[in-house]
Amino acid sequence: MGRAPCCSKVGLHRGPWTPREDTLLIKYIEARGEGNWRSLPKKAGLLRCGKSCRLRWMNYLRPDIKRGNITSDEEDLIIRMHALLGNRWSLIAGRLPGRTDNEIKNHWNTHLSKRLRSQGTDPNTHKKLAEPVQQEGNKRKSNKGTSNNKKRKKSKVKVESLKPKIHLPKPVRFSSLALPRNESFECNTSLSSSTGADGGLSADAVVDNSWCNFKDGDDGISFLVGDVEHDIVDGTDIECQTLLPTENHLEKLYDEYLQLLKTDDDQVKLDSFAESLLL
DNA sequence: AAACAAGTCAACCGCGGGAAG
DNA sequence: CCTTCCCGCGGTTGACTTGTT
């Protein structure tokens, strides 16, 4: 009923993206903007399904993606957010602009959950374990003569089956571009890594539920929030003002959270704090 | 140096929600 | 309402990398 087959059913390309495919996708989105993922591949000349294009763009090609290691501050925030919200990766990612839900999810699964466990904390419930779990057999300890890699993957034990589910309203992504369906926005964002910093920057974006319009003027970049025009000295300021996390951004969240921890009726307030994150 | 185990992370899958008709 | 379609999310996979023996 009603569900279109995905790429696997219609012989489209799968697996790792080639530089050429990346370029095609970037160029198309530069020209037409995000959205209409289903029809995008055809129009962009890509032999990929829309889902694959969206994923590649969201997790890798977006110009506001923050590259590099996740800092300890960010890790700490992720852990605290996870304690409040559970595996709501997109919501957590929304509070760490520049980080993708996939990145945070991977980092949690590969680093943070193990670290918590080794510290004697259940990564699912964030409660103390009866006894700290030993770091799963010292790193890369030989286990010759047992299962091979593929089998290990297949037989991975499900340890999260008892995880309580949290039912909360759908989160609103903090940093994403909100577009009405079937409506693209005009965008000519310069991607310095691939196209060179040749100037032209103008893109509409939603920032804290306000529409912004970036413009490239003679003496720097400016953006509009509502009717008010704000000047930006250089491109890096865009990050600070809008999409990427700042020290202040993280600190503010910390403070907010720490204040709640100090109060008596913490559960009620933590709940409302969690709810506020959803707005 | 080779073989193997373990870690990492980009990409895929399937489901559910919501908008449009 | 109901059906269809699209999007976004979370869970999972598997290719590749890195460390150990």
Residue A2 resides in a domain: no
Share above pLDDT 90 across residues of chain A, in percent, rounded to a whole number? 5
Query: Is 60 exceeded by the pLDDT of residue A123?
Result: yes
- Is residue A7 assigned to a domain? no
And the tokens for A272?
């409302």
The pLDDT tens digits for A124-165 are: 788 777 665 554 433 343 333 333 333 333 333 333 333 333
A183 within a domain of the structure (yes/no): no
Q: Residue A151, CB, less than 7 Å from strand B? A: no
A154 nearest nucleotide via C1' and CA: C13
Nucleic strand B within 7 A of Cβ A11: no
Same domain, A225 and A237: yes
Count how many domains chain A has.
Answer: 3
Judge if the beta carbon of A51 is closer than 7 A to nucleic acid strand C.
yes
Closest protein CA to C1' of nucleotide C18, residue: A140
Shared-domain flag, residues A222 and A93: no
Residue A155, domain member (yes or no): no
CA A20 remoteness from chain centre: 24
Same domain, A251 and A124: yes
| Between A249 and A37, residue with greater pLDDT | A37
A173 touches strand C (CB under 7 A): yes
Between residues A29 and A240, which one has the greater pLDDT? Answer: A29
A140, part of any domain: no
Domain that holds residue A202: 192-243
Residue A89 Cβ under 7 A from any strand C atom: yes
Decide if A16 is inside a domain. yes
Residue with the bigger pLDDT between A90 and A224: it is A90
User: How far does CA A257 lie from the centroid of its chain?
Assistant: 21
- CA-wise closest residue to A243 among A170, A173, A195: A173
Q: Side chain identity at A234, as an amino acid letter?
A: D
pLDDT in tens, A216-259: 333 333 333 333 333 333 333 333 333 344 556 556 665 665 56
